[in-house]
């Protein structure tokens, strides 16, 4: 009895650890951002009012609450700029996720069908780009896509174009950058589900009269849906908030929400509006996050 109690206590603390982590590094900062989003800008340090300060006395502290307002959120709804950049974020995220799926699925499928000893090598090849800094890889793309860059030189040499094509600062460049950066996140979950699939199921399907193509659509694809779901959400969610890639590769005439947020914060020094944008972005991402969680849970249950 007593020994069990001795061991039970650290175990209980260990169970608290993730909650503590979440509270400290998510909930508390989230509280700050939420509070700032309800404040107004001010030319001061920090650049917003009200500021909660217990040293000013209890009455002042209570009075600060009354100064909070939803004004910034009203601005988000009334100004086209914000709605348009939210919409653009969604469009970019959906489009690039679809492209990722179309490119990533065949790669993952091919990997899963490789002989066992080649699969590990293929996996390393997918992960290897992570060994170079993300920013450096995006800058490399700038180099490749610029006026006298590698791509244009190849196209000219092959006489596919007669004069250099403008790639940089276009949506095409942005999509290239996003698809390139996120491809491993699409491939890996897909590969994981495809690799553990029993080959005998395909043989059974063919034995029962399904052509290899039919067998793929009737057996392989439906059984890989959990992997498709995981890959899609793993790409979609961060792409919605993507800042660096559109900022470096896309043109400046339409902004994704991450860029708008950056502008509000660093250029306009409007912390409250930037915070409101961040909170709204978070709300936008709640439904797909819940969906992802459900899929994960169903997969765990399905395995039992």
Partner 1 sequence: MPLLRIEGVTKRFGNFTAVNQLSLDIRAGEFFALLGPSGCGKTTLLRMLAGFETPDEGRLLLAGRDIAQVMPHERPVNMMFQNYALFPHLSVRDNIAFGLRRAGMARGEIAARVAEMVALVKLEGMEKRKPDQLSGGQRQRVALARSLARRPQVLLLDEPLAALDKKLRESTQAELMELQRRLGMTFIIVTHDQEEAMTMASRIGVMDTGRLAQVATPRDLYEAPASRWVAEFVGDVNLFEGQVISREQGRLKVTTREAGIITVTEPRQPVTKEIVTVAIRPEKIKLSRRGLASSADALQAINRFEGEVAEINYLGGLTAYRIRLDNGAVVRSVMANTARLDVDGYGSSERVAAWFAPDDGVVLEQ
Q: Rule CB under 8 A: which residues touch partner 1? A: 198, 200-201, 203-212, 214-215, 218-219, 222-223, 302
Distance between CA atoms of 170 and 248, rounded to whole angstroms? 10
Please state the closest distance from residue 232 (CB atom) to partner 1, in A.
19
Query: Which C-beta is closer to partner 1: that of 53 or that of 198?
Result: 198
Residues 6+ apart with CB under 8 A from 273: 41, 72, 75, 76, 264
Please state the closest distance from residue 172 (CB atom) to partner 1, in A.
38
Distance between CA atoms of 273 and 76, rounded to whole angstroms? 8
Query: Which C-beta is closer to partner 1: that of 196 or that of 269?
Result: 196
Please state the closest distance from residue 277 (CB atom) to partner 1, in A.
42
Query: Which C-beta is closer to partner 1: that of 102 or that of 204?
Result: 204
Please state the closest distance from residue 241 (CB atom) to partner 1, in A.
34
Query: Which C-beta is closer to partner 1: that of 190 or that of 256?
Result: 190
- The phi, psi pair for 204, rounded to 5°, reads -60, -40
> Contact 202/208 with Cβ under 8 angstroms?
no
Query: Which C-beta is closer to partner 1: that of 105 or that of 182?
Result: 105
Please state the closest distance from residue 200 (CB atom) to partner 1, in A.
4
């Amino acid at each position: 009895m007593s020994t069990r109690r001795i061991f039970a206590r650290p175990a209980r603390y260990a169970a608290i650890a993730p909650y503590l982590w979440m509270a400290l590094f998510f909930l508390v900062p989230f509280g700050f951002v939420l509070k700032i989003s309800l404040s107004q800008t001010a030319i001061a340090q920090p650049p917003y009012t009200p500021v909660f300060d217990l040293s000013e006395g209890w009455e002042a502290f209570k009075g600060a609450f009354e100064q909070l307002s939803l004004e910034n959120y009203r601005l988000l709804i009334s100004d086209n700029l914000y709605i348009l950049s939210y919409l653009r974020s969604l469009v970019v995220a959906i489009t690039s996720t679809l492209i990722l799926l179309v490119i990533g699925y065949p790669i993952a499928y091919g990997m899963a069908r490789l002989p066992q000893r080649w699969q590990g090598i293929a996996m390393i090849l997918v992960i290897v780009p992570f060994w170079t800094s993300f920013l450096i890889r995006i800058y490399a793309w700038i180099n490749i896509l610029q006026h006298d860059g590698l791509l244009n030189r190849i196209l000219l040499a092959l006489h596919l174009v007669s004069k250099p094509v403008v790639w940089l600062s276009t949506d095409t460049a942005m999509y290239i950058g996003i698809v390139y950066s996120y491809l491993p996140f699409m491939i890996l979950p897909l590969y994981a589900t495809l690799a553990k699939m029993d080959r005998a199921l395909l043989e059974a399907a063919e034995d029962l009269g399904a052509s290899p193509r039919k067998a793929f659509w009737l057996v392989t694809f439906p059984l890989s849906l959990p992997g498709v779901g995981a890959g899609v959400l793993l790409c979609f969610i961060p792409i919605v908030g993507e800042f660096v890639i559109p900022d470096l590769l896309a043109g400046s005439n339409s902004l994704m929400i991450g860029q708008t947020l950056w502008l509000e914060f660093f250029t306009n020094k409007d912390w409250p509006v930037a915070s409101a944008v961040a909170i709204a972005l978070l709300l936008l991402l709640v439904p797909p996050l819940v969906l992802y969680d459900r899929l994960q849970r169903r997969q765990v249950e399905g395995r039992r």
